[in-house]
Amino acid sequence: MTLGLQKVVNMIGQTHPAVGKSLFHQENTNAGYVQTQQYVPYSTLPQLRDFGSGIAEASIQESFNKTFLISMYGLKDVIADEIIARDNYGMLTKWVMGRGAALAEIYATHDEELAANFFAAQFSATTPAPGSPDRVGLFNTGHPISPQNLAQTQSNTFAVAMPFGMPALQGARANLEQQLKANGLTRYDNSIDRIVHNPNIEEIVLQCLHSEWVPNTSDRDMNTMRNRDIKNVSWSYWTASGSTNANAYNSWFVLGKTHHLYWFTLTPLHFKQQQILGINSTLFASFVEQTLGQVSFIGTFGSTGP
């Protein structure tokens, strides 16, 4: 029966398309935690020199690091052995499929909730922000560029929360293209890969991505953001809002083609079964070990709605 449960989990899965995990780079690990270290590249440009004269010296230094601590999640169910003993017509096949599909769906839902809660928490102004490598939330106006240069900061959100629209989309595009590496010189020259939002604002997102003219204006200005191959990700689990209306779900964020969000899996979802003599039943336990987080804010931009 354990084999049947595992098979159903792999075949049936959830009743909704997974979004949360797809927003991260997914990797496996054989360790209980993962240490990710970034570096500050050369911050001194080559200097003009004469024959035989000195050469400007620079060095690569350690930048912010991030430790991913693996967490274990589990769920269990039981079936009485009396039912197993009198299963003359294979009815347990249906039970196994039902339990397997339901367990798979709830684990998939858990992944969605983990991802949505992670991004929602990253608008927090708490310092130091929990789980952040540079001590501030993922979406912040004051990301220090490196431990050696805390005074120079970068922003990946608006100074004042902005609802999604053409000004917001253009602001996100310009920001991603000008984000600096930790040396304060090299630019990522990133571009938007996807926009993540709640279904409540999908219509305006689609208008901004595909309208021939700039939406909601009387001018016939060409929409320069169309045909940029930006993916629209309507995510029902994304329920963050601005301060005015907690149920508007009008928050949004974009991910660049280069970003540093990671989801590590130590133990993939699987089942164990064990007979419990005290209640004459068989227990089916399922568990998974994984973690998620960001190594850097680079390649992200977001804003809560008003």
pLDDT in tens, 198-209: 999 999 999 999
| The pLDDT value given to residue 6 | 58
Contacts of residue 136, defined as CB under 8 A and 6 or more positions apart, other chains included, come to 127, 128, 129, 142, 143, 144
pLDDT in tens, 285-301: 889 999 999 999 999 99
Nearest to 4 by CA among 101, 71, 81: 101
Give the H/E segment covering residue 107: helix 91-121
CB 166 within 8 A of CB 222: no
- Is a pLDDT exceeding 70 seen at residue 8? no
pLDDT in tens, 167-198: 999 999 999 999 999 999 999 989 999 999 99
Residue identified by tokens 């106006």 is 141
pLDDT in tens, 81-129: 887 777 776 666 666 666 677 777 888 899 999 999 999 999 988 888 9
The residue-averaged pLDDT of 36-63 equals 92
Q: Are strands 192-197 and 143-146 parallel, antiparallel or unpaired?
A: unpaired
| The pLDDT value given to residue 22 | 95
- Is a pLDDT exceeding 70 seen at residue 284? yes
Compute φ and ψ for 36, nearest 5 degrees. Answer: -115, 120
Output b/e per residue, 82-112; b: 16+ Cβ within 10 A: eeeeeeeeeeeeebbbebbbebbbebbbebb
| The pLDDT value given to residue 96 | 65
| The pLDDT value given to residue 237 | 95
Q: Please tell me the CATH code under which domain 2-119+263-294 is placed.
A: 3.30.2400.10
Q: Are strands 192-197 and 231-234 parallel, antiparallel or unpaired?
A: parallel
pLDDT band at 36 (very low <50, low <70, confident <90, very high): very high
If one compares 132 and 12, the residue with the highest pLDDT of the two is: 132
In this structure, what token pair is assigned to residue 122? 């990253």
The domain limits of the chain are 2-119+263-294, 136-260
Report the amino acid identity of residue 268: P
| The pLDDT value given to residue 161 | 92
Q: How far apart are CA 141 and CA 155, in angstroms?
A: 4
pLDDT in tens, 226-273: 989 999 999 999 999 988 888 899 999 999 999 999 999 999 888 788
Nearest to 38 by CA among 188, 260, 257: 260
Nearest to 183 by CA among 155, 148, 156: 148
If one compares 10 and 111, the residue with the highest pLDDT of the two is: 111
pLDDT band at 283 (very low <50, low <70, confident <90, very high): confident
| The pLDDT value given to residue 249 | 95
